[in-house]
DNA sequence: TTGAAAGCGCTAACAG
DNA sequence: CTGTTAGCGCTTTCAA
């Protein structure tokens, strides 16, 4: 193995000079820099990560806590993970992947063993048990998500958060449908497990949906669904039975999109003539669905990128703290249109508790 | 920060004794072990990963090279990644995620900087440019996949490979259909990009499909397709135009499954009365499709687990080298049945080149 | 602009 | 069964 000492010897300089060439932390004469660089290339030297970590207490690693819990839609998570690794590499960092259910223990392990310089925390829930550890931790961290039902109620003191503004996204969907004259709106939400865990983004979306429905005086029915044909069929059938005046559907469940569209076709409900559909999902899904969907896009790549950039700035000593929510962008496509005239209205209802309307 | 020296002082022993308690590499009297363990717990000591890596030249990290190239189906990759991290943790390892396109350079970086003890390499292509580096590398590695079109032609000298036996899987699908009397079989394959890159698993499947088709004397048409409604519709339409006698379909493309089933419904081709469909995909997809699919299951979790277990054994000094292919398991479900009598036969054809007679 | 030297926290001979 | 000690390869004061 080639060490820094080997390079120093080969170039006829001291070890510290080589180190400073690498780090750029002090000025080196062009002549010696070139000589050293040449030795580095010739010998194929690479700094030893462990030695560097020990001496500098910086690992060049970011930990990504991505628990893959039931009901989550994997491709979106993966897109975030990709953006994280890509952005991290562009800043010279590698990414350690933590997918387990270990929770707080994993945070302590990363912190205590100095495995990583900082961490990115995904799948944040309301009262997430990892939060106390993160607040105490000496190393910076960024949450992808908010640990609250609403941005206003956010107890994010001492935390850095990055996410889509799901609350505004929910509101935006209802605004769009209400603006088209729809007065009976139903929401196909994430799988029940997601709400039961108190997952932040789902709760915040619901808050926004309800607020906007209230403001517009339109009825809102909310149904969590698993992303299967059977579950979607059952839920949608019940929605139309219970409230036949439903003409607007909001879907926040990537896996349910195609089952829903297939079912509507099968039931001979034309989109958007009979039913308008607004999704909250990545652009790719909205575009490639069997009917191009009007949707608020979930900017997975941007979220991952932002999280890393914040962390990198924090590690560089800056303090860009606080919550940064990306404003939702709704793109109108083929799945929404004006409400058919004369449809009956209905009262707000809710199945998930938290006291609807 | 609590160091090993702190623990030693607190327990009234030498540093090496503490170290040996941790590693279990020499016997310690029960009394001192307990005393030391108590000090560790009291002080909340965690070994410093960098220091340990430097002193022992073992990082406790496995690198997972998972390039996310176009045409790959993310959930399956993620399931493998999950199995890798879970299994790795159960053996005391963490996982470093490398998703970039860096290829050989990433291998050299891991090797040279001693970032990880070993690596798992995914998305292996024929003549993969990473292979030379891996063969030279001092650290062990395991490929998930084979760098060849056929297990027989495998130039896997000096490489460890783990995968589903896709060649046998392809053959198994044709066997099943031929056994039901189908004589016109078409394959909906992975997206074109996957074949163009020479991705090993896709090539091997094709080898197996062709071999079995030849053995049974049935026609075989192969079409790469993107996993979109448009692409599937175009491909399937052409297949039935070109060869109306097609009654058996093999799908090796998770994203194409639902578009295919939707299209067949739309075209009023009953499954399995008019067309039998066999998939090569994870059980979960086969089970939850709108028609439960007869399928050879892609055992993503098992593949990830096997890869890690091999690597861990290699790191422990064992030499379980060579290629380990998981035998395919075909489960008959609702999507296949006997061929309707009297359907015309057709000659084997192929679009992808490699001269399918 | 460069060098010398003292660690960073841990492991693993070597010695008892 | 336990202690002493010499590094692992790099960073970073302190000196020049």
Predicted local confidence at residue B153, as pLDDT: 66
Residue A75 touches chain B, beta carbons under 8 Å: yes
Cβ neighbours for A52, distance < 8 A, ≥ 6 positions apart: A58, A60, B50
pLDDT for A347 beyond 60: no
Residue B145: phi, psi to the nearest 5? 125, 170
**A109 contact residues in B (CB cutoff 8 A):** 46
Residues B160 and B134 sit within 8 Å (Cβ to Cβ)? no
Paired tokens of B94:
């963490």
**Is the per-residue pLDDT at A180 higher than 90?**
yes
Which of B1, B64, B99 is the mutation pick for testing A, counting most A CBs within 10 A? B99
State whether residue A99 sits within 8 Å of chain B by CB: yes
Query: Which residue is listed with tokens 């960092």?
Result: A93
List chain B residues with CB under 8 Å of A7.
none
Write out pLDDT tens, residues A295-308: 999 999 999 999 99
Residue carrying structure tokens 């890690």: B308
Rounded CA-CA distance B73/B56 in Å is 39
- More confident position, B28 or B347: B28
List all residues 6 or more positions away from A62 whose beta carbon is below 8 Å from its beta carbon. A84, A88, A93, A94, A95, A96, A116, A117, A118, A119, A120, A308, A311
The alpha carbon torsion through B76, B81, B82, B87 (nearest 10 deg) reads 130
CA angle B213, B198, B178 (to 5 degrees): 15
Q: Which two tokens stand for residue B60?
A: 């406790």
Q: Which 48-87 positions of B have CB less than 7 A from strand C? A: 48, 51-52, 54-56
The reported pLDDT for the residue numbered B102 is 79
Which of B51, B98, B100 shows the shortest C-beta gap to A54? B51
Contact yes or no for B203/B126 (Cβ under 8 A): yes
Does A290 contact chain B (CB < 8 Å)? yes
Q: State, as a whole number of angstroms, the distance between the CA of A21 and the C1' of D15.
A: 20
Q: Closest Cα to residue A252, out of A291, A203, A217, A290?
A: A203
Does the structure show a pLDDT above 80 at A4?
yes
CB B337 within 8 A of CB B180: yes
Query: What pLDDT is stored for residue A158 in this prediction?
Result: 79
Interface of B with A in 13-72 (CB under 8 A): 44, 46-54, 57, 59, 61, 64, 68
Mean pLDDT calculated for residue range B115-143: 94
Sign of the four-CA dihedral A22, A26, A29, A32:
negative
Q: Which nucleotide is nearest to B56 (CA to C1')?
A: C11
CA distances from B295 to B207, B288, B291 (A): 18, 12, 12
pLDDT score for A155: 67
Positions of strand D less than 7 angstroms from a protein CB: 1-13
Instruction: Single out the residue of B232, B247, B251 nearest to residue B298, CA to CA.
Output: B251
Q: Residue B45: which nucleotide is closest by CA–C1'? A: C9
Q: What is the rounded average pLDDT of the residues B103-119?
A: 96
pLDDT digits (tens, 9 = 90+) for A41-51: 999 999 999 99
Q: pLDDT, tens digit, for every residue of B5-42?
A: 999 999 999 999 999 999 999 999 999 999 999 999 99
Q: What is the pLDDT of residues B64-110, one digit of tens each?
A: 999 989 899 999 999 999 999 999 999 999 999 999 877 899 999 99
Q: How far is B350 from chain A, CA to nearest CA, in Å?
A: 28
With a 7 Å cutoff on the CB, does A15 touch strand C? yes
CA distance A17 to A5: 10
Percent over 90 (pLDDT), chain A: 85
Task: Please answer yes or no on whether B52 and A48 come within 8 Å at the CB atom.
Answer: no
Asked whether residue A344 carries a pLDDT value surpassing 70, the answer given is no
> Which residues fall inside 7 Å of strand D, measured at CB?
A 1, 3-5, 15-16, 19-20, 22-23, 25, 45-48, 51-52, 54-56; B 12-17, 20, 26-29, 31-33, 51, 54-55
Does the beta carbon of B94 lie under 8 angstroms from any beta carbon of chain A? yes
Indicate yes or no: CB of A94 within 8 angstroms of CB of B115. yes
- How high is the mean pLDDT of chain A? 92
pLDDT digits (tens, 9 = 90+) for B267-284: 999 999 999 999 999 999
**What separation in angstroms does the CA of B218 have from each of A192, B255, B344?**
47, 27, 11
Integer-rounded Cα Rg, in Å, for chain B is 25
Edge to edge, the sheet with strand A276-281 lists A219-224, A184-189, A248-251, A276-281, A294-297, A330-331
Partner B contacted by A86 (CB < 8 A): yes
Q: What is the mean pLDDT of residues B318-323?
A: 84
Beta strands in chain B (DSSP E): 61-65, 94-98, 118-121, 141-144, 160-164, 184-189, 219-224, 248-251, 276-281, 294-297, 322-326, 330-331
- Chain segment A246-294, per-residue pLDDT in tens: 999 999 999 999 999 999 999 999 999 999 999 999 999 999 898 999 9
Question: How do beta strands B118-121 and B141-144 pair?
Answer: parallel
> What's phi and psi for B144, nearest 5 deg?
-95, 100
What digits encode the pLDDT tens for the residues A59-88? 999 999 999 898 999 999 999 999 999 999
Q: Is B287 on the interface with A (CB under 8 A)?
A: no
What is residue A208's predicted lDDT score, i.e. its pLDDT?
98
How many C-beta atoms surround the C-beta of residue B233 within 10 A?
17
DSSP-assigned beta bridge partners for residue A63: A96, A119
A116 exposure class (CB count in 10 Å sphere: 0-12, 13-18, 19+): buried
- Residue B349, pLDDT > 90, answer no
Judge if the beta carbon of A16 is closer than 7 A to nucleic acid strand C: yes
Given a cut of 50, is residue A351 above it in pLDDT? no
Return the exposure string of A167-198: e unless at least 16 CB atoms fall within 10 Å of the residue's CB, then b.
bbbbbbbbbbbbebbbbbbbbbbbbbebbebb
Tell me whether residues A262 and B288 touch, CB distance under 8 A: no
B95–A100: do the CB atoms touch at under 8 Å? no
Would the pLDDT of B343 be above 70?
Answer: no
Q: What pLDDT, on the 0 to 100 scale, is given for residue B356?
A: 33
Average pLDDT of the residues of chain B: 92
Q: Does the pLDDT of residue B164 top 50, yes or no? A: yes
A217-244: average pLDDT: 95
**pLDDT above 50 (res B353):** no
* pLDDT single digits (tens) A86-106: 999 999 999 999 998 778 999
* pLDDT given for residue A156 in this prediction: 72
Q: Are A220 and A213 a contacting pair, CB within 8 Å?
A: yes
pLDDT for the residue B124: 93
Q: How confident is the model at residue A345 (pLDDT cuts 50, 70, 90)?
A: very low
Strand pairing report for A330-331 and A294-297: antiparallel
Question: Tens of pLDDT along A106-161?
Answer: 999 999 999 999 999 999 998 899 999 999 999 999 999 999 887 776 667 778 99
> Would you say residue B348 has pLDDT above 60?
no
Provide the percentage of residues in chain A whose pLDDT is more than 70. Answer: 94
CB within 7 A of strand C (chain B, 6-35)? 15-16, 19-20, 22-23, 25
């Amino acid at each position: 193995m080639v060490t820094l000492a080997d390079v120093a010897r080969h170039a006829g300089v001291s070890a510290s000079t080589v180190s400073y060439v690498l780090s750029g932390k002090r000025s080196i004469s062009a002549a010696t820099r070139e000589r050293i660089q040449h030795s580095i290339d010739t010998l194929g030297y690479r700094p030893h990560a462990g030695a560097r970590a020990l001496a500098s207490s910086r690992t060049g690693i970011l930990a990504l806590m991505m628990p893959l819990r039931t009901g989550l839609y994997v491709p979106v998570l993966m897109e975030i993970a990709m953006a994280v690794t890509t952005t991290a590499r562009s800043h010279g960092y590698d990414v350690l992947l933590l997918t387990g259910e270990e929770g707080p223990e994993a945070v302590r392990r990363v912190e205590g063993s100095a495995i990583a310089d900082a961490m990115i925390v995904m799948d944040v829930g309301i009262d997430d048990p990892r939060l106390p550890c993160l607040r105490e931790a000496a190393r910076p961290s960024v949450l992808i998500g908010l640990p609250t039902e609403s941005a206003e109620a956010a107890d994010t003191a001492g935390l850095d958060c990055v996410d889509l503004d799901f609350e505004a996204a929910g509101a935006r969907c209802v605004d769009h449908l209400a603006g088209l004259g729809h007065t009976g709106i139903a929401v196909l939400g994430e799988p029940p497990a997601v709400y039961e865990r108190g997952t932040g983004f789902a709760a915040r979306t619901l808050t926004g949906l309800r607020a906007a429905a209230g403001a517009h005086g339109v009825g809102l029915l909310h149904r969590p669904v698993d992303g299967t044909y059977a579950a979607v069929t059952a839920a949608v059938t019940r929605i139309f039975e219970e409230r036949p005046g439903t003409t607007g559907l909001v879907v926040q469940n990537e896996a349910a999109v195609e089952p829903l569209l297939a079912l509507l076709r099968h039931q001979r409900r034309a989109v958007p003539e009979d039913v308008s559909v607004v999704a909250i999902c990545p652009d790719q899904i909205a575009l490639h669905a069997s009917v191009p969907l009007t949707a608020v896009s979930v900017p997975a790549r941007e979220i991952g990128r932002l999280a890393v950039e914040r962390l990198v700035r924090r590690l560089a000593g800056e303090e860009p703290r606080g919550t940064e929510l990306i404003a939702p962008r709704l793109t109108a496509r083929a799945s929404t249109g004006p409400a058919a005239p004369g449809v009956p209205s209905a009262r707000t209802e809710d199945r998930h508790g938290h006291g609807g309307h």
